């Protein structure tokens, strides 16, 4: 084949992307909120692009297992990463030797969704408000326990931010999942917990929800005030899911994927499905997503590693 024909074929290939199914790597187990959030989006994107998406769940290490797979994949647009802040910002603060460099291993395609946590307490506790809980924690440093889904989880980060901004200290108890946390709080084994707003909403008749962790109220729990609204001014422990591709993927492919993502997010049925599980459609451009990730790293480094 001559160089002229080869160049023409390569250009044509780029214009016709995609030509085969795309691997969509989710950094969390099947059946969880990250998985449930991704699947309708992927189906919609596939219909737009005229191809199928092959979903692979690779849970572990707060998303780093999946991130490593994508970091090592060819930069041809056929391997995508569905990630939360864990693999891109949190793990690089908590872990000294990640198997990839978050700054150079990926190109952000776009943020898709944002979400928050809720601070809950048991109905039999003494805490009827956020103010009461903070006052008690200041009076009894480290004696009031709270549950989350583990070190570095969204709930744990939400708690650490509250401790720092309100200048108090509580005791962290990690659990494996939201169901176990709810059981512990409802059963009185622990007084408080940070967990997804979806999980909190599912049992709001059997718990007391003191606040949500986003800057503003969430549509899933419109009656619950935000931390900032309750006096912790500027408190914002909100999180996201987004799509990334391996470094060196062409700008044209990134743009094609971003447009498909934005169109999927704008679909009313997708919006309804995502809001039902506590997620807010929040699409961004690639450049905006780059800045979101940078800002997240700065924010969480101050909370987790003030030094």
Q: Where are the alpha helices (DSSP H) in the chain?
A: 3-15, 33-49, 64-71, 85, 91-94, 130-139, 154-166, 178-186, 197-202, 251-266, 268-276, 286-304
Q: Is the peptide bond before 18 cis (omega within 30 degrees of 0)?
A: yes
- For tokens 């699947």, the residue is 39
Q: Does 11 have pLDDT greater than 80?
A: no
Per residue in 34-82, pLDDT (tens digit) is: 899 999 999 999 999 999 999 999 988 888 999 999 999 999 999 999 9
Listed by start position, the domains of the chain span 3-115+239-304, 116-212
Question: What local confidence, expressed as pLDDT, does residue 6 receive?
Answer: 34
Asked if 249 and 264 count as a contact pair (C-beta separation under 8 A), the reply is no
**Cα distance between residue 190 and residue 184, in whole Å:** 6
Give the pair of three-digit tokens for residue 226: 């935000």
- Name the architecture of domain 3-115+239-304: 3-Layer(aba) Sandwich (3.40)
- What's domain 116-212's superfamily in CATH? Periplasmic binding protein-like II (3.40.190.10)
- In the three-class reduction of DSSP (H, G, I as helix; E, B as strand; rest coil), residue 281 is classed as strand
| For the chain, percent of residues with pLDDT exceeding 90 | 80
Question: What local confidence, expressed as pLDDT, does residue 306 receive?
Answer: 57
Question: What local confidence, expressed as pLDDT, does residue 220 receive?
Answer: 87
Please give the model's pTM, rounded to 2 decimal places.
0.87
């Amino acid at each position: 084949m001559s160089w002229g024909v080869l160049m023409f074929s390569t250009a044509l290939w780029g214009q016709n992307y995609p030509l085969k199914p795309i691997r969509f790597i989710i950094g969390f187990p099947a059946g969880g909120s990250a998985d449930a959030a991704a699947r309708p989006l992927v189906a919609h994107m596939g219909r737009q692009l005229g191809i199928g998406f092959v979903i692979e769940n690779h849970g572990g290490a707060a998303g780093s297992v999946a991130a490593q797979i994508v970091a090592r994949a060819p930069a041809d647009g056929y391997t995508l990463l569905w990630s939360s802040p864990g693999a891109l910002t949190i793990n690089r603060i908590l872990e000294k030797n990640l198997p990839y460099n978050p700054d150079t291993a990926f190109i952000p395609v776009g943020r898709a969704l944002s979400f928050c946590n809720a601070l809950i307490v048991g109905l039999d506790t003494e805490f009827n408000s956020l103010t009461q809980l903070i006052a008690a924690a200041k009076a009894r440093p480290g004696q009031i326990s709270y549950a989350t889904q583990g070190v570095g989880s969204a709930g744990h980060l939400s708690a650490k931010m509250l401790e720092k901004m309100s200048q108090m200290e509580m005791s962290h108890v990690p659990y494996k999942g939201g169901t176990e946390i709810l059981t512990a709080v409802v059963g009185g084994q622990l007084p408080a917990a940070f967990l997804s707003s979806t999980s909190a909403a599912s049992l709001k008749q059997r718990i007391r929800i003191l606040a949500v962790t986003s800057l503003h109220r969430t549509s899933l729990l419109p009656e619950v005030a935000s931390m900032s609204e309750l006096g912790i001014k500027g408190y914002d422990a909100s999180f996201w899911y987004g799509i990334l591709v391996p470094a060196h993927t062409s700008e044209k492919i990134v743009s094609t994927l971003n447009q498909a993502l934005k169109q999927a997010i704008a679909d009313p049925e997708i919006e309804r499905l995502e809001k039902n599980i506590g997620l807010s459609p929040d699409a961004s451009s690639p450049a905006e997503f780059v800045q979101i990730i940078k800002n997240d790293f700065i924010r969480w480094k101050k909370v987790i590693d003030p030094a």
